[in-house]
């Protein structure tokens, strides 16, 4: 197992994407400071935060709960990216690439949640 959540590939990927999307949002109009900018930054930060918090839990059910919350924040982030692209804030190519990266991350989170669930089931 990992000594720290910072060693987990799923956390590393979510953190890297958070930094990338942060830089993408730096040039959003000031009128979006309390709208899209605030919303997307909270949602993308929530992903690695919940992975980190879940890794600090001793009960597998608690761990998986935080991974599920992270996955919800991931889908929220994707929604914000789609919206930002639709209104012309984000370029199509960048949006498409980020959505694809978040889809890969969702797959990894699903595997992590599934493995926690499987390992908590009684074996016959």
End-to-end CA distance of the chain: 25
Ordered structural domains, the chain, with CATH: 26-120 (1.20.1440.60)
Q: Is 97 helix (H, G, I), strand (E, B) or coil?
A: helix
What does the pLDDT look like over 67-115, one tens digit per residue? 999 999 999 999 999 999 999 999 999 999 999 999 999 999 999 888 7
Per the CB < 8 A criterion, the answer to whether 72 and 105 are in contact is no
What does the pLDDT look like over 19-51, one tens digit per residue? 999 999 999 999 998 899 999 999 999 999 999
């Amino acid at each position: 197992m990992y000594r720290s959540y910072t060693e987990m590939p799923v956390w590393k990927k979510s953190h890297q994407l958070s930094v990338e999307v942060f830089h993408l949002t730096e040039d959003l109009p000031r009128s979006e400071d309390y709208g899209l900018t605030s919303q997307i930054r909270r949602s993308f930060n929530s992903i690695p935060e919940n992975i980190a918090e879940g890794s600090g839990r001793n009960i597998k059910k608690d761990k998986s709960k935080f991974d599920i919350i992270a996955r919800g924040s991931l889908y929220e982030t994707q929604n914000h990216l789609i919206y930002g692209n639709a209104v012309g804030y984000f370029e199509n190519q960048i949006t498409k690439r980020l959505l694809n990266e978040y889809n890969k991350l969702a797959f990894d989170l699903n595997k992590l949640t599934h493995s926690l669930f499987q390992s908590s089931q009684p074996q016959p």
